[in-house]
């Protein structure tokens, strides 16, 4: 077990080292779930990126081993990859997707206007959400604050916030479908 100090820079470097040590385990775990070596490596890379961003959220007092916490993060990344894989019908490397990426980089003025109008509509819909849901959506998606941090600030269970976020997305889907 790796001991961690309260210093955030040393904590993040120790967590990073723990992530590197757990690389084979994470890749093996991801490969068993995804059945694709490249996806498994992507999961590891994304896990390490999330680990770098969220190192300050690791709580030493909970007595959870760093490796356990890192694998928990990897599990979430794997879950996201499986959801994306199910919804994706085309290969990432297809020319159609490549053209879309190029189009996204250099949108035409009319396309920029459409995206701005869509963003304005979405902002109005979020403002129409109940207060708690609208605030949660703005903080999570708009400001990029993690649910864990929001839960700690509001002294609410993480599960409660997850349910609120699911409710907000369902309401927004209904609004957009209408």
User: Can you give the pLDDT at residue 87?
Assistant: 54
Structural domain of 34: 8-87
- 90 pLDDT exceeds 70? no
Of 91 and 71, which is predicted with more confidence?
71
Residue 150 lies in a domain: yes
pLDDT of residue 40: 86
Cβ atoms of 66 and 15 within 8 Å: the answer is yes
In a domain, residue 166? The reply is yes
Of all residues in the chain, what percent carry a pLDDT higher than 90?
Answer: 3
Give me the number of domains the chain comprises: 2
Checking phi first, is residue 107 left (phi over 0); if not, alpha (psi -120 to 50) or beta? beta
Global pTM reads 0.45
CB-count exposure of residue 165 (10 Å: 0-12, 13-18, 19+): middle
Point out the domain boundary residue: 72, 87, 102: 87
Residue 97 lies in a domain: no
Mean pLDDT along residues 7-21: 77
Residue 105 forms part of a structural domain = no
Q: Distance between CA 54 and CA 26 in Å, rounded?
A: 18
Is 40 a member of any domain?
Answer: yes
Q: Which of 29, 59, 87 is the last residue of a domain?
A: 87
């Amino acid at each position: 077990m790796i001991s961690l100090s309260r210093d955030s820079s040393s904590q993040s470097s120790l967590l990073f080292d723990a992530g590197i040590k757990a690389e084979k385990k994470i890749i093996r775990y991801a490969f068993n779930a995804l059945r694709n070596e490249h996806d498994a490596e992507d999961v590891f890379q994304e896990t390490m990126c999330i680990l770098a961003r969220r190192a300050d959220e690791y709580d030493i007092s909970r007595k959870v081993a760093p490796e356990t916490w890192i694998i928990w993060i990897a599990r979430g990344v794997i879950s996201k990859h499986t959801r994306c894989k199910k919804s994706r019908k085309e290969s990432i490397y297809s020319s159609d997707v490549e053209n879309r990426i190029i189009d996204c980089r250099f949108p035409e003025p009319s396309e920029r206007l459409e995206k701005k109008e869509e963003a304005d509509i979405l902002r109005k819909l979020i403002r129409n959400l109940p207060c708690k849901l609208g605030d949660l959506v703005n903080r999570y998606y708009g400001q990029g604050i993690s649910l864990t941090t929001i839960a700690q600030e509001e002294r609410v269970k993480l599960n409660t916030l997850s349910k609120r976020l699911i409710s907000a997305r369902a309401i927004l889907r209904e609004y957009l479908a209408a």
